[in-house]
Every structure is written in structure tokens, then in C-alpha cells.
Amino acid sequence: MTGCAGWVCGRARAVVLTVLAQVAPYNQAMHILIANDDGYLAPGLAALVRACEGLGHIDVFAPEQNASGTSNALTLSRPLSIFEARGEHVKGFRVVNGTPSDSVHVALTGVLGRRPDLVLSGINNGANMGDDTLYSGTVAAAMEGFLFGVPAIAFSQAEKGWGELDAAAATARSVIEQVLATSRLDGPPWLLNVNIPNRADAASLPRVVTRLGRRHASEAVIQQMSPRGEPIYWIGPAGDAREAGEGTDFHAVANGQVSITPLQVDLTDHAARGAWAQRLARPA
Ligand code: MN
């Protein structure tokens, strides 16, 4: 029985090692890909990268410009360029002149040269809750990892302005460690959307698993005149929360909790399929 260490021998030892690998994957050389949508210079990105120190090998791919609200857009009409950032806080970040989804997409489809174990996105400047998640570049960057089969987490601060960013970063670290200790990275992928109140005690706030709330339709478009005398339009602000009851992300954050929403991508209205099939299956 060579290689038998004390009480753990042969098959028993293999089982112990397997269990250890499942409950503590972050003790191995984990590879983490980090992206965001506020651009590579955003304080929230540097904060998330710092928060992940020691968890494994980290690669950062982030958009050159602020690309908030670009959803899952991919740039198909022109080529993309990538340069390596210099300077404090961003050294070694790979900067992509495209969208958040572009950044993760090019990393995963060849530029990174390996498959990461985890994709992280954020920390975003402002909440991504309810219907906003459909427009969010922060969620989209994480979703791009998820679509490629890699587990992913998107992080956002509830309020804009980077208030209590260090506390949000500590919260992100704590959530990541909790997820790594309890969840498999090598099974079916999962996608989590985390919203963190801007509070100094964020890391010790209760964490609740929520569902997405709903918003009222966006407010009216704002019309102005351009200097050339032509009408121009600004997209209006998002509507107020419409469904913000208990169990929603809106409710959690409003009550001083960290909201964690597991997301899926299937937009199919499964409940309505039968009724539509009856109406449309036969040509009129
Ligand atoms: Mn953003």
C-alpha cells in the first residue's frame, strides 16, 4: 500500500480528495476572468480585482469606454483591438474597444488561451435590478461567460457614485468565497446577479436570494434642439419600481440586504406555448 497516508488509504483517500476538491476548489490554481461595463478605468473594476487577490490567477478584459446599457451587444461591423493598460490600479488589464460582451467573448474564444473557472463582472456603478438586468452590460458580461458554460457572478452597488466601494468589494469577496465553498464550478454553469447596498457594513448585512422585481415603463423621451436646429432625443430615466414586494431584489436592497438573484437565459414563455400552438399551428 504505497502512498497510503495514515487512516486514509486507497479508495477512501480518493473519496476524501474528491470531496476536498469539491468543497474547496479555490485552494487550487483557479483562473478567474473579470470584466465590467463601466470601462477599464472604473474604480469598481479595480476594487473587484483587488478583492479577488489570492483566489487564483486573474485576467481582466474590459471595455475601453463606459458601455453601460449596452446589454449583450457584440460588435460585428468592425474589428476589435486590444491593448494592455499601464499605470496604477489597471496594470495588465486587457482593454477592448468594444462592449462588455465583446470583452468576455474575445477572451473566451481565443485571446485568453484557456477556459477560466469563473467569470466575474463589476462592481457596477449603480443597481442592476428588475427589468434593468435586460439592458445591463454588467450582467451581460457575466452572462457571456455563462453562455459559454462558465459559472459567473455580476456585482453592482445599489447607488451610483462609488460610495462605500471598499465595503462592496469586501462583500463581493465574501460572497465569492461562500459560493466557492458551496457550489461546483465543473457542473452545469450558473449565473448570479448581486446588488450591494452602499453601506460601510455591507459585508455583514443579511444576504437574501431574490427574484427580479419589475419596473414601470421608462419615463418619456426628452426632446431638445441640436445646435443645428434639428430635434434630438435623450432616452428618459427608468420608471419607478412596480413590483417591489417581498422576495424581490428591489425589496431586499431597500431593506438593507444584499440581493442575490440566480438568473437563467431562456426567454421562452413556456406557459403560453400551448395556447399559441392552438391558434397558429395551422395556416389560416
Ligand atoms: Mn455600468
Q: Residue 174 maps to which CATH number?
A: 3.40.1210.10
pLDDT of residue 261: 98
- CA 194, CA 96: separation in Å to the nearest integer? 24
What separation in angstroms does the CA of 165 have from each of 95, 235, 275? 22, 28, 48
Range of the domain at 182: 10-215+241-280
Q: How far is the CA of 284 from the centre of ligand 1 (A)?
A: 47
**Domains held by the chain: number:** 1
Q: What is the average per-residue pLDDT within 92-121?
A: 97
Taking the model in full, what pTM does it have? 0.88
Q: For the segment 247-277, what is each residue's pLDDT rounded down to a tens digit?
A: 999 999 999 999 999 999 999 999 999 999 9
Residue 4 lies in a domain: no
Q: How far is the CA of 69 from the centre of ligand 1 (A)?
A: 7
Q: For the segment 150-169, what is each residue's pLDDT rounded down to a tens digit?
A: 999 999 999 999 999 999 99
- CA 279, CA 284: separation in Å to the nearest integer? 9
Q: How far is the CA of 137 from the centre of ligand 1 (A)?
A: 6
Q: How far is the CA of 246 from the centre of ligand 1 (A)?
A: 26
Residue 67 lies in a domain: yes
User: Over 60: is that where the pLDDT of 5 sits?
Assistant: no
Residue 19 lies in a domain: yes
Q: How far is the CA of 132 from the centre of ligand 1 (A)?
A: 11
Residues ≥6 apart with Cβ < 8 Å to 244: 130, 213, 250, 251, 254
Residue 83 lies in a domain: yes
Please tell me the least confidently modeled range out of 22-31, 160-169, 222-231: 22-31
Q: What is the average per-residue pLDDT within 24-29?
A: 57
